[in-house]
Structure 1
Amino acid sequence: MSEKPSVLFVCVHNAGRSQMAAGWLTHLAGDAVEVRSAGSLPADQVNPAALQAMAEVGIDISTARPKVLTTEAVQASDVVITMGCGDACPIFPGKRYLDWELEDPAGQGVDAVRPIRDDIEGRIRGLLTELGVPAATAGAAHTG
């Protein structure tokens, strides 16, 4: 049995984009992918608008906590997806790096966060296809 892929989502505060991405990947891949998220300057809590936007599509990220980005987390991941962390993200040979340019939901209401959430969902579905991991269809509350 092959080892499951590991994905790390990184943004500055680990409170919005990276938490939504981790929530989507966990929701759609189940335990077929190891999911991590971290931030170069983690916030105290996950963005309430991100929590609400994800809850609207049936994904609960309320237990998520922003975590500091560590060298170990990057080394342990097959794919590292950055979302505006810039030079703070360490680079290691042999890792696959993607940079997703997404609007920062910090300080925005849920109306502004919904399109970001939906953009992330599409990117996660594409990532699953690239990884050869089938997306779960049962329980997917959001269709686009």
Structure 2
Amino acid sequence: MSTPASRPSVLFVCVHNAGRSQMAAAFLTHLADGQVEVRSAGSAPADAVNPAVVQAMGEVGIDISAEVPKVLTTDAVRASDVVITMGCGDACPVFPGKRYLDWQLEDPAGQGVSAVRPIRDEIEQRVRGLLAELGITAPA
């Protein structure tokens, strides 16, 4: 296990921090088992996490019901090694030396749980790919 100082840090950003970035952060936290520092934020945070997202994550055994949307800060970006944006466009500050990825994902806002499930599953696959890139073995 790596020491906290050597842990990579990943920030997931979407507009409302109520769906995609919350799912991605939850999957990374769950799969990395403490080997990655995980943050999520939104450029215009919602009041609460999307209930359909909470339900969809609960179906795969991950409880995010206590999560709350957080506002994106330049400090959060500065403190992260990898910044993954999900449809926030130019609202995300860019700093030299950071690795930026943009994941094109459908926005689950206003959709029912049946529409959220395929988005959730795609996010899980992308997070597993990210872990592999970071050299961290995720459980099967």
- TM-score, normalised relative to structure 1: 0.93
Q: Does 1:78 align with 2:110?
A: no
2:57 to 54, 58, 63: 54
Partner of residue 130, structure 1: 133
Matched, 1:121 2:121: no
* Cα RMSD for the two superposed structures: 0.8
Candidates 28, 31, 35, aligned match of 1:28: 31
Q: Does the residue aligned with 1:31 lie in a helix, a strand or coil?
A: coil
Q: CA deviation at 1:63?
A: 1.2
1:98 aligns to 2:122 (yes or no): no
Q: d(CA) in 2 for partners of 1:43 and 1:108? A: 15
**Is 1:17 the counterpart of 2:46 in the alignment?**
no
Please state whether the residue corresponding to 2:33 is helix, strand or coil. helix
Partner Cα distance (2:33, 2:107) in 1 = 26
Which one-letter code corresponds to 2:40 in the other structure?
Answer: S
The answer to whether the Cα contact below 8 Å between 1:45 and 1:66 also exists between their aligned partners in 2 is yes
For 1:83 and 1:60, the matched residues in 2 are separated by 21
* Structure 1 residue ranges (4+ consecutive) displaced by more than 6 angstroms after TM superposition: none
Q: Percent identity?
A: 78
Q: Deviations over 1:118-143 (max 9, x none)?
A: 00000000000000011034xxxxxx
How many residue pairs get aligned? The number is: 137
Partner SS, residue 58 of structure 1: coil
Q: Is the 8 A contact 1:17 1:83 kept in 2?
A: yes
Give the gaps of 5 or more residues in structure 1.
138-144
Q: Deviations over 1:78-122 (max 9, x none)?
A: 000000010000000000000000000000000000000000000
Supply the distance in 1 between the matched residues of 2:70 and 2:30 (Cα, whole angstroms). 20
1:30–1:136 contact (8 Å) kept in structure 2: no
Q: Which amino acid aligns with 2:50?
A: N
Unaligned runs of 5+ in 2: none
- Provide the TM-score with structure 2 as the length reference: 0.96
